Structure 1
Protein backbone atom coordinates (compact mmCIF):
# COMPACT_ATOMS: atom_id res chain seq x y z
CA UNK A 1 0.00 0.00 0.00
CA UNK A 2 1.23 3.49 -0.86
CA UNK A 3 0.80 6.74 1.08
CA UNK A 4 -2.28 8.76 0.10
CA UNK A 5 -2.85 12.51 -0.11
CA UNK A 6 -6.40 13.79 -0.35
CA UNK A 7 -6.95 17.35 -1.60
CA UNK A 8 -9.82 19.01 0.25
CA UNK A 9 -10.74 21.39 -2.57
CA UNK A 10 -11.13 18.58 -5.10
CA UNK A 11 -12.74 15.97 -2.82
CA UNK A 12 -15.86 14.39 -4.28
CA UNK A 13 -18.89 16.18 -2.82
CA UNK A 14 -22.56 15.24 -2.52
CA UNK A 15 -25.27 17.74 -1.54
CA UNK A 16 -28.29 16.40 0.32
CA UNK A 17 -30.51 19.53 -0.06
CA UNK A 18 -31.26 21.52 3.11
CA UNK A 19 -29.51 18.90 5.24
CA UNK A 20 -25.90 17.86 4.69
CA UNK A 21 -23.08 18.48 2.23
CA UNK A 22 -20.86 15.39 2.33
CA UNK A 23 -17.23 15.18 1.16
CA UNK A 24 -15.34 11.94 0.66
CA UNK A 25 -11.84 12.71 1.95
CA UNK A 26 -10.46 9.15 1.84
CA UNK A 27 -12.33 6.28 0.25
CA UNK A 28 -12.20 2.72 1.50
CA UNK A 29 -10.81 1.66 -1.87
CA UNK A 30 -7.88 4.06 -1.53
CA UNK A 31 -6.98 2.73 1.95
CA UNK A 32 -7.31 -0.95 1.14
CA UNK A 33 -10.43 -1.11 3.31
CA UNK A 34 -8.62 0.00 6.47
CA UNK A 35 -10.73 3.13 6.95
CA UNK A 36 -12.67 5.84 5.18
CA UNK A 37 -12.96 9.52 6.09
CA UNK A 38 -15.85 11.85 5.37
CA UNK A 39 -16.66 15.45 6.19
CA UNK A 40 -20.14 16.88 6.60
CA UNK A 41 -21.36 20.43 6.60
CA UNK A 42 -24.58 20.05 8.57
CA UNK A 43 -27.38 22.61 8.40
CA UNK A 44 -28.78 23.98 11.68
CA UNK A 45 -31.22 21.59 13.35
CA UNK A 46 -30.17 18.61 11.23
CA UNK A 47 -28.78 15.18 12.12
CA UNK A 48 -29.24 11.55 11.08
CA UNK A 49 -31.64 9.08 12.70
CA UNK A 50 -30.33 7.02 15.61
CA UNK A 51 -28.41 4.11 14.14
CA UNK A 52 -25.92 1.31 14.73
CA UNK A 53 -22.87 0.22 12.75
CA UNK A 54 -22.65 -3.49 13.51
CA UNK A 55 -19.18 -4.16 12.08
CA UNK A 56 -17.26 -0.89 12.29
CA UNK A 57 -16.20 1.78 14.75
CA UNK A 58 -16.87 5.46 14.04
CA UNK A 59 -14.93 8.47 15.31
CA UNK A 60 -16.29 12.03 15.06
CA UNK A 61 -14.09 15.13 14.99
CA UNK A 62 -16.16 18.27 15.62
CA UNK A 63 -14.65 21.16 13.66
CA UNK A 64 -17.14 24.06 13.61
CA UNK A 65 -20.48 24.78 15.23
CA UNK A 66 -22.44 23.38 18.14
CA UNK A 67 -23.47 19.73 18.16
CA UNK A 68 -24.97 17.20 20.48
CA UNK A 69 -24.14 13.53 20.12
CA UNK A 70 -26.07 10.69 21.68
CA UNK A 71 -24.01 7.60 22.49
CA UNK A 72 -25.65 4.59 24.07
CA UNK A 73 -28.56 6.70 25.36
CA UNK A 74 -26.44 9.49 26.88
CA UNK A 75 -26.30 12.97 25.30
CA UNK A 76 -23.12 15.05 25.18
CA UNK A 77 -22.55 18.63 24.00
CA UNK A 78 -19.73 18.88 21.46
CA UNK A 79 -17.76 21.99 20.54
CA UNK A 80 -15.00 22.51 17.96
CA UNK A 81 -12.00 20.36 18.86
CA UNK A 82 -14.03 17.67 20.62
CA UNK A 83 -13.76 14.03 19.52
CA UNK A 84 -16.25 11.19 20.05
CA UNK A 85 -15.40 7.51 19.55
CA UNK A 86 -18.36 5.19 18.90
CA UNK A 87 -17.54 1.46 19.18
CA UNK A 88 -19.30 -0.86 16.75
CA UNK A 89 -22.69 -2.02 17.96
CA UNK A 90 -23.46 1.24 19.83
CA UNK A 91 -26.64 3.22 19.13
CA UNK A 92 -25.74 6.81 18.29
CA UNK A 93 -26.78 9.99 16.49
CA UNK A 94 -25.72 13.62 16.27
CA UNK A 95 -27.45 16.92 15.64
CA UNK A 96 -26.33 20.45 14.84
CA UNK A 97 -27.97 22.45 17.64
CA UNK A 98 -26.46 25.77 16.57
CA UNK A 99 -28.12 28.46 14.47
CA UNK A 100 -25.73 28.15 11.51
CA UNK A 101 -24.14 25.27 9.58
CA UNK A 102 -21.65 23.14 11.51
CA UNK A 103 -18.81 20.97 10.27
CA UNK A 104 -17.53 17.58 11.40
CA UNK A 105 -15.29 14.82 10.09
CA UNK A 106 -15.76 11.17 10.79
CA UNK A 107 -13.77 8.02 10.29
CA UNK A 108 -15.16 4.52 9.81
CA UNK A 109 -12.84 1.63 10.62
CA UNK A 110 -12.76 -0.71 8.83
CA UNK A 111 -14.14 0.97 5.70
CA UNK A 112 -16.72 -1.65 4.64
CA UNK A 113 -19.38 0.07 2.49
CA UNK A 114 -20.43 3.42 3.97
CA UNK A 115 -19.27 5.22 0.83
CA UNK A 116 -21.49 2.94 -1.28
CA UNK A 117 -24.39 3.61 1.09
CA UNK A 118 -24.05 7.38 0.73
CA UNK A 119 -23.76 7.06 -3.06
CA UNK A 120 -26.91 4.94 -3.22
CA UNK A 121 -28.85 7.40 -1.06
CA UNK A 122 -27.63 10.33 -3.15
CA UNK A 123 -28.70 8.61 -6.37
CA UNK A 124 -32.29 8.46 -5.06
CA UNK A 125 -32.17 12.06 -3.79
CA UNK A 126 -31.14 13.28 -7.23
CA UNK A 127 -34.53 12.06 -8.49
CA UNK A 128 -36.86 12.54 -5.51
CA UNK A 129 -36.94 12.85 -1.73
CA UNK A 130 -35.70 9.82 0.19
CA UNK A 131 -38.25 8.34 2.60
CA UNK A 132 -37.23 7.10 6.05
CA UNK A 133 -38.14 3.56 4.95
CA UNK A 134 -35.92 3.79 1.84
CA UNK A 135 -33.07 5.23 3.90
CA UNK A 136 -33.40 2.36 6.38
CA UNK A 137 -33.41 -0.26 3.59
CA UNK A 138 -30.35 1.20 1.90
CA UNK A 139 -28.50 1.55 5.20
CA UNK A 140 -29.21 -2.03 6.23
CA UNK A 141 -27.74 -3.34 2.96
CA UNK A 142 -24.51 -1.60 3.94
CA UNK A 143 -24.27 -2.69 7.57
CA UNK A 144 -25.99 0.27 9.23
CA UNK A 145 -29.26 -0.27 11.07
CA UNK A 146 -31.61 2.67 11.65
CA UNK A 147 -33.11 2.22 15.12
CA UNK A 148 -34.91 5.48 15.83
CA UNK A 149 -35.67 9.03 14.86
CA UNK A 150 -33.20 11.93 14.69
CA UNK A 151 -32.39 13.78 17.92
Structure 2
Protein backbone atom coordinates (compact mmCIF):
# COMPACT_ATOMS: atom_id res chain seq x y z
CA UNK A 1 0.00 0.00 0.00
CA UNK A 2 2.88 2.38 0.74
CA UNK A 3 4.21 1.99 -2.81
CA UNK A 4 0.78 2.84 -4.24
CA UNK A 5 0.53 5.98 -2.07
CA UNK A 6 4.03 6.99 -3.15
CA UNK A 7 3.12 6.62 -6.82
CA UNK A 8 -0.14 8.57 -6.42
CA UNK A 9 1.64 11.34 -4.49
CA UNK A 10 4.38 11.52 -7.13
CA UNK A 11 1.82 11.70 -9.95
CA UNK A 12 -0.10 14.45 -8.12
CA UNK A 13 3.12 16.43 -7.58
CA UNK A 14 4.14 16.05 -11.23
CA UNK A 15 0.75 17.17 -12.51
CA UNK A 16 0.81 20.20 -10.18
CA UNK A 17 4.31 21.08 -11.41
CA UNK A 18 3.24 20.66 -15.04
CA UNK A 19 0.18 22.88 -14.52
CA UNK A 20 2.34 25.56 -12.87
CA UNK A 21 4.78 25.48 -15.81
CA UNK A 22 1.95 25.66 -18.36
CA UNK A 23 0.30 28.48 -16.44
CA UNK A 24 3.56 30.45 -16.41
CA UNK A 25 3.83 30.40 -20.24
CA UNK A 26 0.17 31.04 -21.04
CA UNK A 27 -1.14 34.61 -21.17
CA UNK A 28 -3.07 35.44 -18.02
CA UNK A 29 -5.55 38.27 -17.52
CA UNK A 30 -4.58 40.51 -14.64
CA UNK A 31 -7.15 40.76 -11.88
CA UNK A 32 -5.78 44.05 -10.51
CA UNK A 33 -5.79 47.53 -11.95
CA UNK A 34 -2.47 49.27 -12.39
CA UNK A 35 -1.03 52.64 -13.29
CA UNK A 36 1.89 53.35 -15.61
CA UNK A 37 3.33 56.80 -15.02
CA UNK A 38 4.02 59.30 -17.77
CA UNK A 39 7.40 58.64 -19.34
CA UNK A 40 7.53 55.10 -17.98
CA UNK A 41 6.89 51.67 -19.46
CA UNK A 42 4.81 48.87 -17.95
CA UNK A 43 7.84 46.70 -17.19
CA UNK A 44 10.46 49.47 -17.14
CA UNK A 45 11.84 48.81 -20.64
CA UNK A 46 11.88 51.45 -23.40
CA UNK A 47 12.13 49.78 -26.83
CA UNK A 48 13.90 51.50 -29.74
CA UNK A 49 12.84 50.43 -33.22
CA UNK A 50 16.41 50.41 -34.51
CA UNK A 51 16.68 49.82 -38.22
CA UNK A 52 13.02 50.41 -39.00
CA UNK A 53 12.67 53.85 -37.38
CA UNK A 54 14.34 55.60 -34.46
CA UNK A 55 11.09 55.65 -32.49
CA UNK A 56 10.81 54.62 -28.85
CA UNK A 57 7.93 52.43 -27.72
CA UNK A 58 6.78 52.01 -24.13
CA UNK A 59 4.34 49.25 -23.24
CA UNK A 60 1.45 50.78 -21.31
CA UNK A 61 -0.85 47.72 -21.32
CA UNK A 62 0.72 44.38 -22.11
CA UNK A 63 -0.76 41.37 -23.82
CA UNK A 64 0.30 39.62 -20.60
CA UNK A 65 -2.33 41.72 -18.80
CA UNK A 66 -5.16 40.84 -21.18
CA UNK A 67 -4.72 37.17 -22.19
CA UNK A 68 -3.25 38.63 -25.38
CA UNK A 69 -6.51 40.43 -26.28
CA UNK A 70 -4.92 43.89 -26.38
CA UNK A 71 -1.61 45.70 -26.11
CA UNK A 72 -1.15 49.47 -25.89
CA UNK A 73 2.08 51.38 -26.52
CA UNK A 74 3.13 55.00 -26.28
CA UNK A 75 5.28 55.70 -29.31
CA UNK A 76 7.64 58.67 -29.26
CA UNK A 77 8.38 59.57 -32.85
CA UNK A 78 12.02 60.49 -33.40
CA UNK A 79 12.10 59.84 -37.15
CA UNK A 80 11.12 62.97 -39.10
CA UNK A 81 10.23 62.10 -42.71
CA UNK A 82 10.37 58.40 -41.82
CA UNK A 83 8.21 55.50 -40.79
CA UNK A 84 7.77 51.74 -41.15
CA UNK A 85 7.50 49.97 -44.51
CA UNK A 86 4.09 49.36 -46.02
CA UNK A 87 2.92 46.19 -44.29
CA UNK A 88 -0.05 44.01 -43.37
CA UNK A 89 -1.13 42.47 -40.05
CA UNK A 90 -3.19 39.42 -41.05
CA UNK A 91 -4.40 38.77 -37.49
CA UNK A 92 -4.61 42.18 -35.84
CA UNK A 93 -6.44 45.45 -36.01
CA UNK A 94 -4.36 48.52 -35.18
CA UNK A 95 -5.47 51.84 -33.74
CA UNK A 96 -3.45 55.10 -33.44
CA UNK A 97 -4.21 58.29 -31.49
CA UNK A 98 -1.93 61.25 -32.24
CA UNK A 99 -0.80 63.21 -29.18
CA UNK A 100 1.92 65.35 -30.75
CA UNK A 101 3.16 65.99 -34.29
CA UNK A 102 1.73 65.50 -37.75
CA UNK A 103 1.62 62.29 -39.76
CA UNK A 104 0.43 60.91 -43.06
CA UNK A 105 -1.05 57.41 -42.87
CA UNK A 106 -1.82 55.15 -45.77
CA UNK A 107 -4.56 52.58 -45.26
CA UNK A 108 -5.23 50.52 -48.36
CA UNK A 109 -5.01 53.01 -51.24
CA UNK A 110 -6.20 56.00 -49.19
CA UNK A 111 -3.96 58.55 -47.47
CA UNK A 112 -4.94 60.53 -44.40
CA UNK A 113 -3.21 63.47 -42.72
CA UNK A 114 -3.37 63.24 -38.92
CA UNK A 115 -2.68 65.93 -36.34
CA UNK A 116 -2.87 65.95 -32.53
CA UNK A 117 -6.23 64.63 -31.34
CA UNK A 118 -6.87 62.59 -34.49
CA UNK A 119 -7.45 58.82 -34.50
CA UNK A 120 -7.06 56.25 -37.24
CA UNK A 121 -8.20 52.63 -37.33
CA UNK A 122 -6.26 50.20 -39.52
CA UNK A 123 -8.14 46.91 -40.03
CA UNK A 124 -6.33 43.60 -40.27
CA UNK A 125 -5.42 42.39 -43.75
CA UNK A 126 -5.22 45.95 -45.11
CA UNK A 127 -1.82 47.33 -46.11
CA UNK A 128 -0.78 50.38 -44.15
CA UNK A 129 2.14 52.59 -43.15
CA UNK A 130 2.78 56.08 -41.86
CA UNK A 131 5.34 58.84 -42.23
CA UNK A 132 6.13 61.40 -39.51
CA UNK A 133 5.99 64.95 -40.90
CA UNK A 134 7.30 66.85 -37.89
CA UNK A 135 10.60 66.80 -36.01
CA UNK A 136 9.02 64.96 -33.09
CA UNK A 137 5.76 63.11 -32.59
CA UNK A 138 3.91 61.03 -30.07
CA UNK A 139 1.09 58.54 -30.53
CA UNK A 140 -0.79 55.88 -28.60
CA UNK A 141 -0.79 52.63 -30.60
CA UNK A 142 -3.03 49.65 -29.82
CA UNK A 143 -3.03 46.15 -31.26
CA UNK A 144 -6.12 43.95 -31.07
CA UNK A 145 -5.24 41.19 -30.31
CA UNK A 146 -1.77 41.87 -28.94
CA UNK A 147 -0.20 39.18 -31.09
CA UNK A 148 3.58 39.18 -31.22
CA UNK A 149 4.09 42.95 -31.19
CA UNK A 150 5.88 43.15 -27.84
CA UNK A 151 8.32 40.49 -29.05
CA UNK A 152 8.72 42.40 -32.36
CA UNK A 153 9.75 45.60 -30.59
CA UNK A 154 12.02 43.64 -28.27
CA UNK A 155 13.74 42.14 -31.34
CA UNK A 156 14.21 45.45 -33.18
CA UNK A 157 15.59 46.98 -29.97
CA UNK A 158 18.41 44.38 -30.00
CA UNK A 159 19.71 45.28 -33.47
CA UNK A 160 23.22 46.71 -33.27
CA UNK A 161 23.62 47.61 -36.94
CA UNK A 162 21.18 48.65 -39.65
CA UNK A 163 19.33 45.57 -40.95
CA UNK A 164 18.95 44.81 -44.64
CA UNK A 165 15.53 44.90 -46.31
CA UNK A 166 15.62 41.09 -46.27
CA UNK A 167 16.32 41.04 -42.49
CA UNK A 168 13.52 43.55 -41.87
CA UNK A 169 11.08 41.44 -43.93
CA UNK A 170 12.10 38.31 -42.00
CA UNK A 171 11.60 39.94 -38.59
CA UNK A 172 8.20 41.24 -39.69
CA UNK A 173 7.25 37.74 -40.94
CA UNK A 174 8.51 36.12 -37.72
CA UNK A 175 6.05 38.36 -35.83
CA UNK A 176 3.01 37.73 -38.06
CA UNK A 177 3.35 40.74 -40.36
CA UNK A 178 4.11 40.97 -44.07
CA UNK A 179 6.13 43.77 -45.68
CA UNK A 180 4.42 44.66 -48.97
CA UNK A 181 6.20 47.88 -49.94
CA UNK A 182 8.69 50.56 -48.98
CA UNK A 183 8.15 53.24 -46.33
CA UNK A 184 5.99 56.17 -47.37
CA UNK A 185 7.74 59.20 -48.81
CA UNK A 186 6.75 62.83 -48.46
CA UNK A 187 6.01 64.20 -51.92
Of 11, 36, 59, which residue of structure 2 is paired with 1:6?
36
1:95 deviation in Å?
Answer: 0.7
Deviation at 1:77, TM superposition (A): 0.5
Task: Specify the alignment match of 2:60 in structure 1.
Answer: 25
Give the 3-state SS of the residue equivalent to 1:10 in structure 2: coil
Q: Does 1:65 align with 2:95?
A: no
Q: How far apart, CA to CA, are the structure 2 residues paired with 1:132 and 1:6?
A: 35
Map 1:48-59 onto structure 2 (within 5 A). 48-59=84-95
Question: How many residues were matched structurally?
Answer: 148
Match of 2:72 among 37, 43, 64: 37
2:114 equivalent in structure 1: 78
Structure 1 alignment gaps of length 5 or more = none
Q: Which residue of 2 aligns with 1:142?
A: 175
TM-score, reference length from structure 1: 0.91
The whole-number CA distance in structure 2 between the counterparts of 1:54 and 1:110 is 11
Name the structure where helix makes up a greater proportion of residues: 2
C-alpha change, 1:16 and 1:87, in structure 2 (3 Å) is closer
Query: Structure with the greater relative contact order (CA < 8 A, sep ≥ 6): 1 or 2?
Result: 1
Per-residue CA deviations over 1:67-110 (Å, capped at 9, x if unaligned) read: 00001011110000000011110100011112x11111110001
Are 2:168 and 1:132 aligned? no
Moved over 3 A (4+): none
CA distance in 2, matches of 1:74, 1:135: 24
- Return the index of the structure with the highest Cα Rg: 2
5+ residue gaps, structure 2, are: 1-29
Higher strand share: 1
Map 1:92-131 → 2, pairs under 5 A? 92-98=128-134, 100-123=135-158, 125=159, 127-131=160-164
Deviation at 1:16, TM superposition (A): 3.8
